[in-house]
Amino acid sequence: MDLCMAAPGTRQEEKVATLERMGQPGARRLKHIRCRCDVDPAWTLEVLRRAAPTLEELFVSMPREEHLRTVHAMPRLRRMYLIASSSTRLALPALPHGSLEWLRVSGLPQPALVSLLQAHAASLRVLWLDVSRGAKSGAKPKAKFKAKPFKVLFKCDLRLSRLVLWSSGHHHPSGCPGQLAKARRTLPGALVQCKDCDRVPWEYL
All structural domains of the chain, each given as residue ranges with its CATH number in brackets, are 3-194 (3.80.10)
Tens digits of per-residue pLDDT, 181-191?
989 998 999 99
9: left (phi over 0), alpha (psi -120 to 50) or beta: left
Tens digits of per-residue pLDDT, 125-173?
999 999 886 544 444 444 444 445 667 788 888 999 999 999 888 887 8
Q: What integer pLDDT is reported at residue 149 of this predicted model?
A: 62
Q: Do the Cβ atoms of 131 and 164 come closer than 8 Å?
A: no
Q: What integer pLDDT is reported at residue 146 of this predicted model?
A: 44
Sign, Cα dihedral of 146, 148, 154, 159? negative
Q: What integer pLDDT is reported at residue 32 of this predicted model?
A: 64
